[in-house]
Amino acid sequence: MNTLDGLPRFLHTADWQIGRQYASFAPDDAVALAEARISVIERIADLATQHAVDAVLVAGDVFDAQTVSDRTIRRLFNAMADYAGPWILIPGNHDAALAESVWTRAQRLGAVPESAHLALSPQVLEFAEAGFAILPAPLTQRHTQSDLTSWFDQAETAEGLARIGLAHGSVQGILAEDVDSPNPIAADRTERSRLDYLALGDWHGTKQINPRTWYSGTPEQDRFRGNDPGNVLLVDTPEVGAEPRVEILPIGRHPWIQMSEHLAVSSDLDQLIANIEAQPEQAVVALRLEGEISLLGKQQLERALSVAEARFRSLGYDLSGLSLQPTEDDIAALHADGYVGDVIAELRDQQEGEGGEVARDAMAILASMLLEKQAQGGDA
């Protein structure tokens, strides 16, 4: 038990999805994002030791798939080494406890340390010395229409032990319809089952359902959805029957940020660049731009994006909706008079037509050539 008040204290986490692939990213970014899912487990172990918790509760989707490599399995359990207390893990919909599964493979490999308690079946796990009992609801198939927490209602635990539920699925009537799996969980399960706390996984953001029921969310964000991911929960049970104290502890390194802007005037570009510069380092950023931009503005934007690419873990941008509109000052600065000036004007007009993308690319190439020649001291 933790030494602050002699009653159980936990870290609650879920949805590690170790082995996830990031195929839509550049290779170096994909490797780094996959590696981040391992390193965050090491930080969870450090937090567990720092806060002297009695156990780490992992509410499913530990692995992203049944087919992760043996090396990935070993690396996961190695990452847990710095916290010697119990890690209590259940399978989720991505790593369900099938007859032959990633879990049975981990056991055959001898990769599972003594500190890791794999709750692969629905039976009470009592930790009497620490003052709590775990009621797990492991998924034994990817999808089920049955509430696997229903057995909690009749489960017997020793008197005086905190009753802690551990499950993976969708609380009915609370979450959006597009949660990863349909696996239902009754919204009033804590009351029905006399639970002191219900630790949930599947929703990738931190979310309180009621004072005793929480989703921890994934500790390392993995999608563009602003639902408060990147945390673990520190849970204190002050006494059996009392409401738990829950503290949200940020732990993720790579926030995922979507930005969408419409540029119309030069001040819009200034504000956009300021917004880009304000984003945290190591973020994963997706930028989509529409509207109009001058040649000078395009140069400023390209410089800002080049700087941002070095700051961010990943920067993806879609400029296809951005129309290049050279101003008279732009054309004058390029010394693009005569025939060249006429070509630029014609390309500018063609951007609105059927071949707009070709015209936009051609004008950008022509402008770049003129700028390069100008920088070399030549005449346009």
Is residue 371 in a domain? yes
* Residue 325 shares a structural domain with residue 366: yes
- How many independent structural domains does the chain possess? 2
Tell me, what's the pLDDT at 380?
44
Residues 66 and 157 in one domain: yes
Cβ within 8 Å of residue 211, ≥6 positions away: 243, 244
318 and 207, same domain (yes or no): no
Do 113 and 194 share a domain, yes or no? yes
Residue at which a domain ends, from 203, 231, 250: 250
- At 375 the pLDDT is 62
Q: Are 170 and 207 in contact (CB under 8 A)?
A: no
Q: Is residue 350 part of a domain?
A: yes
Same-domain status, 50 and 183: yes
* Residue/partner pairs of 119-124 with CB below 8 Å, 24 or more apart: 119/88, 119/89, 119/90, 119/166, 120/90, 120/91, 121/97, 122/148, 122/151, 124/155, 124/156, 124/157
Selection from 245, 246, 147, 256 nearest residue 206 by Cα: 246
342 lies in a domain?
yes
Q: How high is the pLDDT of residue 5?
A: 54
Are 266 and 202 members of one domain? no
Per-residue buried b or exposed e for 201-217, using 16+ beta carbons within 10 Å of the residue's own CB? bbbbbbbebeebbbbbb
pLDDT attached to residue 182? 79
- Residue 1 inside a domain? The answer is no
What's the CATH number where 186 sits? 3.60.21.10
Q: What is the mean pLDDT of each run of 10 residues along the chain (380 residues)?
A: 68 97 95 97 98 97 97 98 97 95 97 97 96 96 91 95 96 66 88 97 95 97 90 93 94 96 94 96 96 89 96 95 78 65 74 72 71 60
Six-digit token string for 116 = 């890791």
Rounded CA separation 342/351 (Å):
15
Residues 273 and 329 placed together within one structural domain of the fold: yes
Task: Give yes or no for a contact between 150 and 135, defined as CB atoms under 8 angstroms apart.
Answer: no
- Residues 264 and 365 reside in one and the same domain: yes
Given 250, 280, 306, which residue is the final one in a domain? 250
Burial of 121 (0-12, 13-18, 19+ CB in 10 A): exposed
Residue 380 lies in a domain: no
Place of tokens 């005037």: 265
- Residue 226 shares a structural domain with residue 269: no
- The residues, ordered by sequence, that sit 6+ positions from 193 with a Cβ below 8 Å of its Cβ are 135, 149, 152, 153, 155, 163, 165
Measure the CA–CA gap between 359 and 346, rounded to whole angstroms: 9
Q: Do residues 189 and 301 share a domain?
A: no
**Domain membership flag for residue 3:** no
Task: Provide the token pair at 55.
Answer: 């156990």
- Look-up: residue for tokens 């949200």? 248
| Domain identity same for 262 and 238 | no
pLDDT attached to residue 2: 54
Identify the pLDDT of residue 114.
96
> Are 238 and 266 members of one domain?
no
| pLDDT of the residue at 3 | 41
Write down the residue that tokens 């609650």 correspond to.
Answer: 12
Q: Residue 4: inside a domain, yes or no?
A: no
Q: What domain range includes position 219?
A: 9-250
Joined tokens for residue 336: 């693009």
Q: Is residue 217 part of a domain?
A: yes
Q: Out of 201, 230, 250, pick the residue that ends a domain.
A: 250
